[in-house]
Structure 1
Amino acid sequence: MIRIAGLGLAGLMLAACSGQAETGGTAQAIGAVGVAGTATTPGVPAATVAFLPAGGDQLSPKDPIVVKASGGTLQAVAVTNPQTGNGVKGELSPDKTTWTSKDNLRYGATYQVVATAVNQAGAATEQRGEVHTIKPSGVATPALFQPASGDFGVGLIIGLKFDRDIADKATVEKSFKVTSSPAQDGGWYWVNKREVHYRPKDYWKAGSTVKLETTTFGMPIGGGLYGGQDVSASYKVHDSWIAKADGKTHQIKAFHNGQLVKTAPTSMGKTADTPPRGPTPTFNGTHVVLGKEAHKIMDSCTYGVCEGDPGYYSAPENWNVRISADGEYLHENLKTVGVQGSDNVSNGCLNMNTENAKWFFDNFNAGDVVEVTNSGGPQLAINNGHGDWAISWSAWQAGSALRG
């Protein structure tokens, strides 16, 4: 809401303009304000000041505050939030008749506006007012699934996670914008009520740039919620690195930009019911590299088998390339060298010897792809790291709120 106050101001104007559908109401005077500067020259009207938008018990924090002068020019404009002491930045038009705020406002805040205009004779008029922004029942703020920028492989998954359930997914999804160069067909998929991912139909093209922008801030998004602060991201897709691991042949092959550059024997997760833990097959499907650590202590307690339990282990492992959230890695394991290339005996990881594990560690990075087939395990889930590529394109499209 904007309230204004003035005293002895000739032709005082408060202009109205259309805002969001939920705004309404009229401005109210809240007291007297003195007039600074020289006396009014006979025959020269005093300058008047209007605050726009004028209507509304509550204003969207995304909409700008606009101060306009008539019969003169603006000399000074100050907009502050007395609750925080912060000022709001703005920009004056070339003819000095209009000032427009450039910062997003806060929800549920009161802003004090003080504007001074001078008429053609140099007489000054000061105008004061208040802006009240909407106070929603809740605010849902998105966080990036990945860092805001970086270099990734062709399996890059873009994602957002809100801190509240989203009731109107379609409205929210419409507010997202993903652009890529070169252009590639892609779409959003809602993992649950809070999390949504984006990927193209096929792997990203090597050398692509990919940008994400959200515009949910200030929007009603259902259930009384409004969108929180927007986020943006920019990514660079590096050369294509794709590994194909076959649990039947016990071989892992690496392709650089489509060319086979490495073949190595491996041992995947065991499918036999071997005590004390039973089968621990590697997940089938397309995995994406999440990160890597040169040296790491692998501890079975991370999946519930802790010290004192049958099958507990805690062992140092080298050249670890992580490919799932629940602890699948490509890494060195000297204890299984004798069966690498012939049998699957691991706890789910892809074991290799030192030379081969180091080669994959040196060449595979975040966003690169590891396709696992014939492992004997279930398909990798979308919430187990970046299992998005294991979902067919038709099923992915059906996961969009705009296709329901």
Structure 2
Amino acid sequence: MWRAVRRGSGRHGVGRDGAGRHGSGPAWRVPAVLAAAAVLVLSAAACSGGASSSAAGASPAASAGSPTSPLPPPGPRVTVDPAADVNPTAPVHVHADGGRITGVHMTNASGAAVTGTLSPDGATWTTSEPLAFGRTYTVVADAVSAQGAPTHLQSTVATLAPKQTDSAAVDPGGTDVGVGQPVAVTFSHPVTDKDAAVKALAVTSDPPQPGAWHWISSSQVDYRPQVYWKPGTTITLDGKLYGADLGGGAFGAKDVHETFRVHDAWVAKADGGAEQMQIFDNGALVKTMKISLGSPQFPTHTGTHVISDKEPSVVMDSATYGVMPGQPGYYKETVLLDERISNDGEFVHSAPWSVGQQGTDNVSHGCVNLSPADAQWFFDHFGVGDVVEVTNSGGPALPVWDRWGDWALPWAQWQAGTT
């Protein structure tokens, strides 16, 4: 049995290196087996002591090195899409990959909240209202994983700032109209991408009738049916123009929406050869009037005219079409019971000065002259969208671009889309 040896004892003492003055002999050595056992005990004690310290709240460095203390599970990955140059009509999505969303708060610069909806699985939140151009929105989102690990995200969404925005005016607007009335959309600037503009415009009719869009100019596009609208038709224009890319850096400024109804089919057929006008109501002849159309010097345009306006009186001035004061044929006077049938100065109106020529000679400056009594009857029965078809006047065809000259084009040419 080995005896314990106290350090520093012995007859000859212990040197600085722990050996006797005459060297180390067997009597002064700790047995190798005992030393190894001591090291093993110390090592085991160190491992045991480390585990106890971690369970009690050891330092992160000690815990990180411990095989029995795994890292906490990560929260879900939360993303916002899209985030930059966002079209304000495009929905913004907040998505939690590997978890569910517990809350989203999206606000504009003034703090007003943007509404949104959460998907049934809780993984995606989507805006439910359009945004504004050129704005930055703040998005604060929270999500949690299936294991309960949270994620908090704060981000921003920036909408595009267009070079220009285009508004659009609709004609007619919310009124009863005649069977010849086209639907016109006029943009505030020339449109570069006409296909995109037309794609954003939808016309429905009840009962359904075939129709098509046609560009009258670079900023005006009209819709008309193949033949006159059926009496009683309800027509609705739904223009999703807000945010529509119209080309050249221009975007639609706002949506447009109009609904109007077609009344009875009032059609007047003015024959310059017979100097008379027949009036049809829903296809039935109800009245015949004596007329005087434009003289050979100022012939009335032939073709289908659509009434665009009516006024109890209008000051008519020949200077508007080039006949100036002092020149032969100059006039400027107030004319009663006026219904405009083209922007070239053509009206159906009362003309007491030409009653003697009505029915025999064409002496006007392009208008349809009626007696005061016939003009009053016409004014009482005809209005915006009603039709005046002029034949045998000796004049040129009404241009398609002259207000509602849309019917000047055959259907196949109208469907082509551009003049």
TM-score by length of 1: 0.76
The alignment status of 1:79 with 2:107, answered yes or no, reads yes
Name the counterpart of 1:331: 349
Which residue pairs with 2:155 in the alignment? 129
Aligned residue number for residue 185 of structure 2: 160
| Structure showing greater Rg | 2
Q: CA RMSD in A?
A: 3.1
Counterpart of 2:292 in structure 1 is 267
The 1:304–1:61 alpha-carbon spacing in structure 2 relative to 1, beyond 3 Å, is: same
What residue in structure 2 maps to residue 349 of structure 1? 367
Are the equivalent residues in 2 in contact too, given 1:75–1:118 (CA < 8 A)? no
> What secondary structure does 1:355 align onto?
helix
CA distance in 2, matches of 1:308, 1:45: 96
1:234 alignment counterpart: 259
Alignment length (residue pairs): 347
* 1:381 aligned to which of 399, 407, 410: 399
From 103, 115, 128, the counterpart of 1:90: 115
What SS is found at the alignment partner of 2:412? helix
Runs of 5+ consecutive residues of structure 2 not aligned to the other structure:
1-71
Q: How many Å separate the matches in 1 of 2:270 and 2:80?
A: 63
Displacement after TM superposition at 1:53 (Å): 1.8
List aligned pairs for 1:205-244, cutoff 5 A: 205-244=230-269
> Which residue pairs with 2:128 in the alignment?
102
Q: Deviations over 1:174-226 (max 9, x none)?
A: 33222111111111112222221111110011111112223344343433444
- For 1:247, the aligned partner's letter is G
- Deviations, residues 326-352 of structure 1 (Å, cap 9, x unaligned): 221111111000111111111111111
Using the TM superposition, give the Cα deviation of residue 68 of structure 1 relative to its aligned residue in structure 2, in angstroms: 5.2
The AA in structure 2 aligned to 1:215 is: K
Indicate if the aligned counterparts of 1:187 and 1:400 stay in contact, CA closer than 8 A: no
Partner of 1:274: none
SS in 1 for 2:406: helix
Q: 1:135 to 1:258 in 2, by over 3 A?
A: same
Tell me the residue number matched to 1:283: 301
Select the residue among 79, 91, 96 that pairs with 1:64: 91
DSSP 3-state at the match of 1:389: helix
1:358 matched residue in structure 2:
376
Partner residue in 2 for 1:257? 282
Cα deviation for residue 259 of structure 1 reads 0.4
Task: Find the partner of 2:204 among 179, 185, 197.
Answer: 179
Distance 1:116 1:305, change over 3 A: farther
1:138/1:226 contact within 8 Å kept: yes
Task: After TM superposition, give the deviation of residue 120 of structure 1 in Å.
Answer: 10
Alignment of 1:40-51 (within 5 A): 50=78
Instruction: Compute the displacement of 1:307 (Å).
Output: 4.2
Partner of 1:188: 213
In structure 1, which of residues 295, 317, 322 is the aligned counterpart of residue 313 of structure 2?
Answer: 295
Q: How far apart are the structure 2 equivalents of 1:394 and 1:155?
A: 18
What CA deviation, in whole Å up to 9, does each residue of 1:116-170 have, x standing for no partner? Answer: 67999999986432111123444444332432x2211100111222233333323
Identity across matched positions, percent: 41
Of 374-383 and 240-249, deviating more is 374-383
The 1-side partners of 2:170 and 2:278 are apart by 32
